[in-house]
Amino acid sequence: MRCVIFILTASLATSHAWADGHTLHNSRLTFLFGSTTTGYLTADADRVDAITWVNSAGVAVANFITQAVPECGDPLEFFGEAYGNAGGSRPYAVVRGVASNWTGTGASKGTTSIKALTACGASLDATTKSSYELFTDKNLVNALKITRSFSFITGASSGDMRVYLARVPLANYPMVVYPDSTNAVQSVTTNDCGLNCVITDWNGKWMAEDTGAGQGIAIFRKPNAAFPAEITIDYDSDSASNASAITLITPAAGWSGIKVSETEYLCFYDATSWTAAHREAGVPPTGCGGVPH
């Protein structure tokens, strides 16, 4: 077990003053991708290095990022990865050492492309394109939309796949909250899932990484009947992180040679913007009302 951990914070979301890397921002959210100020290389433009969110009280919250020790210029574990269901397992798509190109389309949108099929001495199972979008509409101002498209190589590894890891500090966000197939909201302590807990009794709509007191990041999934999903609950000791995520179930014929597109929304919330009553009713947080639900 490695014991060196880097926990990054950020300045107020209203300043947009972070140097280097690629920054997306609106009035409530700021995301910094691939910054050398962290000591890591900028070749990985999918790596999120800092986030701030202005909460319901007007206070900037910046405790969303944790990263592990460096390998090949990247953290061993970071916010924004895509790989298999078990810790570090295949298929590999966005992992340490990837080289991705950023194409910015203004303050609110950006696209990355990973074309080389190698990363940190390992082969990848897919080339990946990711698009990121923030919104000015008050109905979506607390949400980041992420669409990932994978082109799997012939002979790609089998295995269920976490498409986007919103990797957060375990000390800050120790809980996973989700609605089961009856729409009843369930809570799981992430520390209880060192070998991963797979949640199949899920309504397919959302999951959240939560403080235990009603603040965190909810992940809403755009319906995609072609690729059913479940939830992986997991923590990683190297980065002291909650690495839980929505997980695509391996197709019967495997991933070999197919294309997959997945859209998810990261919704930032607190106990004011997302009450327990709204969760139980399946209503998204304030500022995320336009997400699929």
Dihedral over alpha carbons 175, 55, 246, 194 (to 10 degrees): -30
8 Å CB contact between 120 and 97: yes
Span 271-279, average pLDDT: 97
Question: For residue range 96-137, what is the model confidence (pLDDT) as tens digits?
Answer: 999 999 998 789 999 999 989 999 989 999 999 999 999 999
Omega prior to 91 cis, within 30 of 0: yes
Q: Is the pLDDT of residue 6 over 60?
A: no
Burial of 234 (0-12, 13-18, 19+ CB in 10 A): buried
Give how far Cα 43 sits from Cα of 86, 102, 183, 241, Å.
Answer: 26, 9, 42, 23
- Report the percentage of the chain scoring pLDDT > 70: 93
Span 69-94, average pLDDT: 91
Span 232-258, average pLDDT: 96
142 contacts: CB under 8 Å, gap ≥ 6: 28, 29, 53, 267, 268, 269, 273, 285, 286, 287, 288
Question: For residue range 173-183, what is the model confidence (pLDDT) as tens digits?
Answer: 999 999 999 99
Span 142-169, average pLDDT: 97
Question: For residue range 46-62, what is the model confidence (pLDDT) as tens digits?
Answer: 999 999 999 999 999 99
Confidence grade of residue 20 (pLDDT, cut at 50, 70, 90) = confident
8 Å CB contact between 220 and 208: no
A 10 A CB-CB count for 144 gives: 24
Give how far Cα 183 sits from Cα of 34, 179, 232, 251, 280, Å.
Answer: 38, 5, 18, 26, 7
pLDDT for the residue 87: 63
The mean pLDDT of the chain is 91
8 Å CB contact between 131 and 110: yes
pLDDT for the residue 264: 98
Q: Is the pLDDT of residue 88 over 80?
A: no
H/E stretch holding 281 reads helix 276-281
pLDDT for the residue 4: 35
Question: For residue range 184-243, what is the model confidence (pLDDT) as tens digits?
Answer: 999 999 999 878 999 999 999 999 999 999 999 999 999 999 999 999 999 999 999 999
pLDDT for the residue 37: 83
How do the residues of the chain divide into helix, strand and coil, expressed in percent and rounded to 5? 5, 40, 55
SS3 label, residue 279: helix
- In whole angstroms, give the CA distance from residue 109 to residue 147: 12
Q: Which domains does the chain have, with CATH numbers?
A: 74-281 (2.70.98)
